[in-house]
Structure 1
Amino acid sequence: MKRHPILSEALRLFFPLAALHGALWPFLWVLVGSYDLPFAYDIAPSQWHAHEMIFGTYGMALAGFLVAAVPEWTDTKTSSGKTLLCLAALWLPARIIGALGADALSLLAGLFDLAFLLAVAAIIGRAMLERRTTKHLAFLAWLLLFAGAEAGVRYAWQVGDVELASRMLEAALCIFIVLFSLSASRINVVVINLALDPTGETSPYRPHPGRRHMAGAMVTLYLVAKLAFPDSDVSAWLALAAGAAFFDRLAEWFVGRAAFKTEVLLLAFGNASAGIGFLALGATRLGFNLSPAAGLHMLSLGALGCAVMAVFIIAGLRHTGRNLDRLPWQAHVSAGLMIVAALVRALPEFDALSAIAPYHHGLSAALWALSFGVWLHGFMPFMLRPGVDEQGSCG
């Protein structure tokens, strides 16, 4: 029986699901629900919102990337067909519960989320075991820690510990930032080389080996300090160090005019947003008059929003038989909308664009949703058609 193209590879199914969730969830939460959730009584709607962004939209995007990329990197068979449908079925119930903010069903939703993340871990772990390689073990380890953060959030909600839930949500955000850093160290080499030489015949760009993992290492130290010593200023200084490491990494994008290509610029903006976000977190915790939400939103919308959209564009084209030398107009528009959504959400918290402060939540949510909607408009037809470029890869 011939398999439908959308079930031939994880990202063909999971990227559109993540984009659909990313387009609908903030629209329902901000523009329809007016920041309220119908069945949220004990859990703050803002925490539901953060959880669904990280584990819903971003979690499915991460699964699509890893389930497609790791078998490719290990030259093993990729998951397809019923396996992908089963994974989607594990992910969906928690999203429905999250959309309603159903406190009473939070534990059930957590079980589905954990089953989903552990199933993804089993798939990529099996690929590495089959090849007897530990080269990509970091992705598996951080994915398992991501699942641990999910368990921590659900536990904190169950016992009514709001502060612990907040720390675990920030931990999940930091873990995703590390996964972004690890992914960027692979993707950036391919993307920048293709930007410099679209023919792919040469590789004029080589990253500095000492710069590739410094940012991720500093975020790891910050995460450990924040969880182990939440009242200590040590985590604040480590946040500043993590921000500096991301800014140091910006040197990777000093490649001349090619840096202004959409796919390259989007990754660079995500990296810069991570730097700004960690610097803001450190400054806030050292007593500067700055909202803690400023740094968190630069990380969640600026860094991760742009990183996810960049992967959607890059992998979405290369894994469906298309090159990066001619991006569809939807790629440029969705990238621009994602950047503007991040700036609109975060800048008023930095005392900039204060004129839009009463409306920036709704405006940012609308731009964020529109970004994913435009991507779906342009890329969904690619996902539904057969064919894959032999040169296409996730890095």
Structure 2
Amino acid sequence: MSGCHHASPASALPPVLREGLRLFFPAAAAHGAIWPLIWVALYDLDLPFASAIPPSQWHAHEMIYGTYAMALAGFLTSAMPEWTDTPPRRGKALLLLLLLWLPGRLIGLLGLDILSPVAGLTDTAFLSVLAWFILKPLLARRSTQNSSFFIWIALFALTEVAIRTAWFFEEFELSHRLLLVAMCIFIVFFTLSVARIGVVVINRTLDPSGETTPYRPHPGRQNLAAGLVTLYAGVMLAFPASLAPAYLALATGAAFMDRLTEWFIGRALFKTQILVLALANLFAGIGFFVIGLGTLDARAGDVIFMAPTGVHLLTVGSLGMAIMAVFTIAGLFHTGRDLVLPWQAHAAVAVMLAATLARTLPELGFATGLYGLHYMLGALLWSCAFILWLSAFWPMMKAPTVETQVL
């Protein structure tokens, strides 16, 4: 693996292989645009070769370990070298990650139950190599700063192994909870990343010259939401029959709402690059509220709120917005551009917002005339958001860097 690091000089490589996000962000966006649309429009919420494993669990797994995991790989393989002042992974190292990620996506696209163990092996290998790519620069610098990302990737990989094992033994109630744990781990990634990105973006928006830093985050809010997400996930996995996870979900939602005050910065809030981060946080808070209330309602025999709706507020709303924010902000900075968004980026955020509302509002008692159609409408809008981003940023990713300016 070590030979991949300096396999070829950066100048001899095509731009798309010179940095992780240049290759992995478009791959994640293409997967996010195509896979859910096929599942809804072509397969009608089913999968052609899924027999034992529920198609809904295949779908959830592919979003988390497909689109989201590849987006995470793009972010970390580009950000970690910056944080540690080490050379980035290039060329064959990036292609290795992509090739390890692809088999699981092809198997998941068809719901090939019989090949699930094979996909599990390649997905675990993908995450293990990614973890090594994160750990090695930390070891080289003898640094523990940002080591939490390595720990969470290791937990993400272990959760993948546990999900595939539960599927193999047809323990589908357990695999459902493990998929929720995987989602929570990715929300922790989101909160940790925004704690680093948000400060830079807000200050750059308030003072484009970069000479001053008028914004200072509240230190007490930096890890509270991530800590409560972790606590919720652990209790939900260990004590599914208890009401404790419901109350912890409500507490987690409150933590995200408290964190939302970080974005009270005046009119600058309505800049797309600021608003998209705030919306990601807002949907996280609402999503956990709905999960908590939905769990309590189910125990009481009511159907006012449904926990699965809360899950989609988290996956489509919070994580969809978070990924679009990272794609756009890091995509601009790491191709040497200023924080001036192309029109497609503004449109992509608006369409992602529409996708979230279309997918969840009918289940919350609003726009009920769309109920039944909301699956297709949500998938179409979700796909359009990624296509819009690709139309603007793919030319940037495959072109040389404009100047040296990174996040």
Q: TM-score higher than 0.5 here?
A: yes
1:300 aligned to which of 293, 298, 315: 315
- Please list the CA deviations of residues 190-236 of structure 1 after superposition, one character each: whole Å capped at 9, or x if unmatched: 01111111111111000000011110011111111111111111111
One-letter amino acid matched to 1:169: L
Which residue does 2:28 correspond to in 1?
Answer: 18
1:247 aligned to which of 249, 252, 257: 257
> 2-side partners of 1:36 and 1:220: how far apart?
31
Confirm or deny that 1:192 pairs with 2:202. yes
Give TM-score scaled by structure 2 length. 0.95
Residues 254-293 of structure 1 mapped to structure 2, 5 A cutoff: 254-287=264-297, 289=303, 290-293=305-308
Confirm or deny that 1:154 pairs with 2:154. no
Residues 352-367 of structure 1 mapped to structure 2, 5 A cutoff: 352-367=366-381
Contact 1:191 / 1:264 at 8 angstroms: preserved in 2?
yes
- Please list the CA deviations of residues 339-388 of structure 1 after superposition, one character each: whole Å capped at 9, or x if unmatched: 11111111111111111012000000000011101111000000011115
2:345 aligned to which of 331, 345, 348: 331
> 1-side partners of 2:403 and 2:306: how far apart?
46
3-state DSSP of counterpart to 2:219: coil
Residues 25-64 of structure 1 mapped to structure 2, 5 A cutoff: 25-64=35-74
1:317 aligned to which of 328, 332, 338: 332
- Structure 2: segments with no counterpart, 5+ residues: 1-8
One-letter amino acid matched to 1:246: F
Confirm or deny that 1:382 pairs with 2:396. yes
One-letter amino acid matched to 1:299: L
Aligned length: 392
One-letter amino acid matched to 2:389: W
Task: Give the drift of 1:391.
Answer: 2.9
> 1-side partners of 2:190 and 2:245: how far apart?
21
- Please list the CA deviations of residues 31-84 of structure 1 after superposition, one character each: whole Å capped at 9, or x if unmatched: 112112111111111111111011000000001101111111000110000000
Moved over 3 A (4+): none
One-letter amino acid matched to 2:312: H
Contact 2:64 / 2:183 at 8 angstroms: preserved in 1?
yes
Moved more, 229-238 or 285-294: 285-294
> 1-side partners of 2:296 and 2:45: how far apart?
30
Contact 1:56 / 1:95 at 8 angstroms: preserved in 2?
yes
- Please list the CA deviations of residues 311-348 of structure 1 after superposition, one character each: whole Å capped at 9, or x if unmatched: 00000000001111x21011001111111111111111
Which residue does 2:227 correspond to in 1?
Answer: 217
Task: Give the drift of 1:390.
Answer: 2.6
Contact 2:295 / 2:306 at 8 angstroms: preserved in 1?
no
> 2-side partners of 1:119 and 1:186: how far apart?
24
Contact 1:284 / 1:291 at 8 angstroms: preserved in 2?
yes
CA-based RMSD of the aligned residues comes to 0.9
Moved more, 18-27 or 280-289: 280-289
> 1-side partners of 2:379 and 2:41: how far apart?
8
Change in 2 beyond 3 A, CA 1:116/1:388:
farther
One-letter amino acid matched to 1:257: R
> 1-side partners of 2:52 and 2:237: how far apart?
23
Moved more, 57-66 or 345-354: 345-354
3-state DSSP of counterpart to 1:333: helix
Which residue does 1:8 correspond to in 2?
Answer: 18
- Please list the CA deviations of residues 99-145 of structure 1 after superposition, one character each: whole Å capped at 9, or x if unmatched: 01100000000100000001000001001110111011111111111
> 1-side partners of 2:49 and 2:141: how far apart?
47
One-letter amino acid matched to 1:249: R
Residues 95-244 of structure 1 mapped to structure 2, 5 A cutoff: 95-244=105-254
Contact 2:324 / 2:349 at 8 angstroms: preserved in 1?
yes
Confirm or deny that 1:392 pairs with 2:392. no
- Please list the CA deviations of residues 219-268 of structure 1 after superposition, one character each: whole Å capped at 9, or x if unmatched: 11111111111111111111111000000000110000111011110110
Which residue does 1:87 correspond to in 2?
Answer: 97
> 2-side partners of 1:229 and 1:207: how far apart?
35
3-state DSSP of counterpart to 1:286: helix
> 1-side partners of 2:39 and 2:307: how far apart?
22
Confirm or deny that 1:344 pairs with 2:358. yes
- Structure 1: segments with no counterpart, 5+ residues: none
